[in-house]
Amino acid sequence: MRFAPVRRWKSAAVPLKGLMAFVLLGFLLAACGTGGDPVLVQQSPTSASSSTTTTTTTIETIAVVETTLPSLDVGGFAPVSTVPVDTRPIVIYDTDMGPDVDDVLALAILHNYAGQGLIEIGAITVSRNSVPGARYADVVNTFYGRPDIPIGIHKSSYVKFDDSTLFTAKADSWSHELDTAGLEDGFKVQRRVIADALEAERDVIVVQTGFSGNLADLLKSEADDISDLNGIDLVAEAVSVLSIMAGSIERNMVEFNVERDIGSARYLFWKWPTKLVLSPFELGDQLHYPYSSITSDYNWVDRHPVREAYEYKNLTWHRQVPPYYDMKSWDLTSVMWAVEQDSPRFKISEAGLVTVGEDGRTAFRPGEGNGQRQDYVLDRSNEYSEQERQAIIDEMVDLVSFQPQPDLERDPAPDPADQDSE
Ligand SMILES: [Ca+2]
């Protein structure tokens, strides 16, 4: 809600009414899901053409519906971007997907941004050797109508979690299709997405909200059949920024994402060649996604992968409101900053350098650089007023829980056979 898209994106040339209708159609279709199956938010021109009247705007890749769709509350969201599809930044989301639930909410936000036309989700790479983690990412992608997003995992990871104890175990209960036997190493998936983007002259943004194994392997990678460039050169050529949730600046602690794979984190922070923006532990720690939103904002569909992940387990480190909790929103901050870079919502430090010590402790050295890049830190929450902090939380809630208006919620789901009679 209430943010200005990144400045490099041109302002809207398509009538707002049509744009809003396009957004609304997607969520109308989402509301038409059946029973307990995942619903699909169709975004393609093909899906838009299911309406009786369609008009193709000057943006040839977006078909805008000019019908009398019910009015939906779109909160304070920006209208759909008119940035042509083939020039939108491509986001690679690298996530541990499982040990904590903020990754799921962060992924939902990416789908919201993609639905607004602000970005394209290029790939999801799981920074654990976890098929269930990959599957839950695919569940979320399928739920939001993007079942074909490439997914990779960190096969050589030594980070161990028992997925049977995590929400990722729930992936079995969702209908989705993922070639688990064919899952590739995350760095290879990343190489392919970046190489394709480079050829197409498109910007890539990388968001990391887990461990650093995939990105360290990417930087160590050599030229191959995917690209003639090694990993560092490939990143330097095509990736504008790494937005990363990791580390602690204010506290004398080793943050979880770093602690589980210190070697990879040290390599990443040593070698990453382009701009890096760090969301430290302290920021998300003070931004609590309200559990009351989970119980009230997701009931427009029988099953919602965000709600189910959130409620799967009582995670004690989040506990605010028993028996569940207001979730500390670490990973959401890095996703939001990655796409809303010019928004005044987040305060950002002066340029400097983030380093990771042998013990995993992170430090920020203002004014320094490593000859290749300079880093920035999203300011800690104690530098925000209560009003500013609440504004971020409100935006998080809007971004994650985007939904049809109550009049649609009350309507029974249409018979799927009717939808096929277009
Ligand atoms: Ca995470």
Please tell me the distance between residue 242's alpha carbon and the centre of ligand 1 in angstroms.
15
- Cα→Cα distances 397→82, 191, 198, 287, 348, Å: 24, 33, 34, 11, 22
Question: pLDDT of 210-245, one tens digit each?
Answer: 999 999 999 999 999 999 999 999 999 999 999 999
Ligand 1 centroid to 63 CA: how many Å? 36
Structural domain spans, the chain: 16-76+406-419, 85-401
Distance 59 CA to ligand 1 centre (A): 36
| Cα 101 to ligand 1 centroid, rounded to whole Å | 7
Cα 45 to middle of ligand 1, angstroms: 33
Bridge partners, residue 94, by sequence: 125, 208
Tell me what pLDDT residue 276 has. Answer: 98
Asked whether residue 280 carries a pLDDT value surpassing 90, the answer given is yes
Dist. CA 256 → ligand 1 center (Å): 9
Alpha carbons 162 and 4: distance in angstroms, whole number: 41
pLDDT value, residue 2: 30
Provide mean pLDDT across the span 73-88: 59
Residue 363 CA, ligand 1 centroid: distance in Å: 20
**How many A from CA of 287 to the centre of ligand 1?**
15
User: How large is the average pLDDT for residues 14-40?
Assistant: 36
Q: 114-157, pLDDT tens digit by residue? A: 988 899 999 999 999 999 999 999 999 999 999 999 999 999 99
Cα 176-31-25 angle, rounded to 5 deg:
105
CATH 3.20.20.70 fits 85-401, yes or no: no
* pTM, 2 dp: 0.78
95 alpha carbon to ligand 1 midpoint, in Å? 6
Q: Could you give the 3-state DSSP secondary structure of residue 353?
A: strand
> How far away, in angstroms, is 100 Cα from ligand 1 center?
6
In this predicted model, what pLDDT tens digit does every residue of 288-341 receive, in sequence order?
999 899 999 999 999 999 999 998 876 766 766 666 688 899 999 999 999 999
Question: C-alpha distances in angstroms, 355 versus 248, 364, 381?
Answer: 11, 7, 21
Q: For residue 94, how far is its CA from the centre of ligand 1 (angstroms)?
A: 9
Q: How confident is the model at residue 29 (pLDDT cuts 50, 70, 90)?
A: very low
CA of 97 to the centre of ligand 1 (A): 6
Assign 214 to helix, strand or coil.
helix
Inter-residue contact 118 to 83 (CB < 8 Å): yes
